[in-house]
Structure 1
Amino acid sequence: MKQKRQLKILVFYILLLLFVITSCEEKTPSNVGSQNIIRIGMIPKISGISYFDQCAEGAKELADQYGMELIYRGPSSADAASQVNIIQDMIYDGVDVIAIAPVDPDAVKVILDEARNKGIIVVTFDADSVEESRDVFVNQVSAEQLGMHIIDNLVKLIGDEGNYAILTASLTADNQNTWIQWMKAYQANKYPKLNLLTIVPTDEDQQKAYAHTRNLIQAYPELDGIVAMSTEAGPGAAQAVKVLGKKDDIKLYALALPNDMNDYLKEGSVHLTTLWNPYDLGRLTIEVVHMLLQDENIVDGATYGEIGPIKYIESEKTIIMGEPLDFNAMNVDDFDF
């Protein structure tokens, strides 16, 4: 009996010791978010704008289907430092995946490298980071194809000797800078007399786009056309053209959502709009995340529901979702995004 009692006391103290050790374990970034469910941190360039909201909607729908948790958090303005802070928070929270549209690829390089060193999968979408700092880039369209597409459409509007200006998102936006590089190269080769007057950043802000468009029209009397290259610049520029009564003099071509440009297309303040479906871009991003988690190969030419066939450039670890879509006054009602 005495031995049994001593054994019970020994078991009790062993259990007590295990309880104390478990209770005192320090919570670190690696175990704060440890759950069975996969947690994806999705970071847009800027929160609260329709384009990225639709990306998030598509991403969340597919994440829910796969039983993943999507955490969508972005800066209130297109600010790279704010994105870095959000990435730091997500690393500490223990997410399994970071999907980001970087404002500035160089600014997020170090923190993305840190995330990958901790075992976090990094996928870029809409805009790329430094290639070495991510696993895969989900690109909406081929930059070369889009650059040529924009210039060809612009020439149809203003002629091959016209003068135009560009409203870009920001001077550090990797995707827009790459599009502009291809535009310039194609223009120099095919339309050497087409004249780019200036490039003005709008910081993904409609009010800034409105103000800059007014300034451009006043500063450049020779201006024939404007290419508004972010989804927030399009509506702002169109409103300025409308208010100034310049729709017959200035041909506005926008990369913007058809729903945002519907009325402007029909009344003529914007003459043509080009884009892709951001909802599909969000879905494809999560599809890629799922493949990486399952260690599945990304296949060139594959389709995912209504998305595809995609193009996969293995040497660059880059996926191209599809081709650009054009919207005009005649077909804009056929699209709802």
Structure 2
Amino acid sequence: MTVRYQTFKTLALLLGFTFIFSGCIGTKSGVNVREPIDEVPTTAASGGPRLTFGIIYPMVNDTYEMVTENAEAAAADHDIKVIVQAPDEANLEQQIRIMEMMIKQEVDGIAIDPVDSEALIDVINKAVSSGIPVICFESDSPSSQRNAFIGADNYKTGIVIGQTVDTLLGGKGMILVQSGMPHMLGLTQRLQGLQDYVAQHTEIDVLEVRHNDGSEANAVLQLEQMITDHPHFSALINLDFVSSSSSVLVWKAKGLNRYNVALGLTPYVNQSIENGQITRIISQNEQNWGQAIINNLRKLAQDETLPEFINTEITEIRN
């Protein structure tokens, strides 16, 4: 089978996967929206003011759909309205535009997973100075005035991934690394942790590192190119959700039996570890992020003080 035909076949699988997992969210002007932003009720069923929280993702992905479901379940217990928005693919300008819209609507709190921690400082600070508390999750913007960060230590996550591949390969071998947006702080921290551990504690060679910029199509094409360029690689390391799900498609299409270490636990990726496409999953307990977002935005709305870092810890999952 030619490389061109193989790529076409894999892209076809990718398109089907994308349709399945993003079809539940409507698209408007390139921004995926679960709730219309101009429909903000002012009164709760109890008769008091109803809180409205906004959640902004880097892009549409089934991991974030899982976070949304968890957040909506937690919000329902307190009669809180949740507005969820995300660009189709990672896009700084769209994240800024969404933040500006939520500030204009005077929502009661915003949780954002920033695609660029430095570029979003001004709009995060604008929200906070307007009296809207802001929580970052998954990836932080520590130089901003955000109130707290929810997630795991991303540098430590990279170290745990390094320890995992060290165990799998016995300290020797050749690895490929896939990541997402090069300016996303959490991803650069994961990559640095992985590289530092591998360099200091193993004889493993990092053959190549690629960034997919949050695009599943890019992730598939880049992975296929890396495999073509380095056919004798020992393991693939995925540092973001897009890379993890896209690697499953490539493993299925090519029938690969190499080690494949994924980042992030979703039902799809979990099923893939059972089916043999994924060897290990390193999770930051993403399934709990939604509840943590709602509960901590509630505390901020009630003028409670939060710790700067709300640690969701790291879990290794194996079949």
TM-score w.r.t. length of structure 2: 0.80
Within 2, Cα distance between the matches of 1:97 and 1:278?
20
Q: Look up the match of 2:255.
A: 245
Identify the residue that residue 188 of structure 1 maps to in structure 2.
199
| 1:306 corresponding residue in structure 2 | none
**How far apart are the structure 2 equivalents of 1:45 and 1:327?**
27
1:197 and 1:93, CA in 2 relative to 1: closer, same or farther beyond 3 A? same
Displacement of 1:78 after TM fit?
0.7
Who is 2:46 aligned against? none
Aligned-residue sequence identity (percent) comes to: 21
Change (3 A) 1:57 1:196: same
Aligned twin of 1:324: 315
Aligned residue type for 2:191? I
Cα deviation code 1:178-233 (max 9, x no counterpart): 11111222222222x22112211123333322221111111113421110122222
Once the two structures are TM-superposed, the CA of residue 135 in structure 1 deviates from its matched residue by 0.7
| Paired residues, number | 275
Q: Give the CA deviation at 1:109.
A: 1.0
Counterpart of 1:227 in structure 2 is 237
Match of 1:215 among 203, 225, 230: 225
Q: Conserved in 1, the CA contact under 8 Å of 2:124 and 2:144?
A: no
Q: Distance in 1 between matches of 2:206 and 2:81?
A: 45
What amino acid does structure 2 have at the position aligned with 1:142? Answer: D
Local SS of the residue matching 2:213: coil
Q: Which amino acid aligns with 1:324?
A: T
- The answer to whether the 8 A contact 2:265-2:287 is kept is no
CA contact (8 A) 1:51 1:278 kept: yes
Say which SS state the counterpart of residue 117 (structure 2) adopts: coil
Q: What letter corresponds to residue 42 of structure 1 in structure 2?
A: I
Return the offset for 1:89: 0.8
* 1:1-337 equivalent positions in 2, closer than 5 A: 35=42, 36-47=49-60, 49-139=61-151, 141-191=152-202, 193-247=203-257, 250-298=258-306, 314=307, 317-328=308-319
User: How far, CA to CA, are the matches of 2:199 and 2:311 in structure 1?
Assistant: 25
CA distance 1:50–1:258, shift in 2 (3 Å): closer
- The answer for unaligned runs of 5 or more in structure 2 is 1-38, 43-48
In 2: Cα distance, 1:144 partner to 1:106 partner:
18
CA shift at 1:318, angstroms? 1.1
Flag structure 1 segments of 5+ consecutive residues without an equivalent.
1-31, 299-313, 329-337
Aligned partner of residue 132 in structure 1, secondary structure? coil
Q: In structure 2, do the counterparts of structure 1 residues 319 and 256 end up closer, same or farther at CA, with 3 Å as the change threshold?
A: closer
Write out per-residue CA displacement over residues 152-178 of structure 1, whole angstroms, 9 at most, x where no aligned residue.
111222231211121101111211111
Which residue of 2 is the match for residue 10 of structure 1?
none
Q: Which has the higher contact order (CA 8 A, sep 6+)?
A: 2
Summarize deviations over 1:297-336 as a string: whole Å, max 9, x none.
44xxxxxxxxxxxxxxx5xx111012324132xxxxxxxx
CA contact (8 A) 1:33 1:94 kept: no
What is the alpha-carbon distance in structure 2 between the residues aligned to residue 279 and residue 148 of structure 1?
Answer: 21
Q: Which has the larger radius of gyration?
A: 1
Q: Secondary structure at the match of 1:74?
A: strand
CA contact (8 A) 2:134 2:146 kept: yes
Taking only aligned residues, the RMSD between alpha carbons, in angstroms, comes to: 2.1
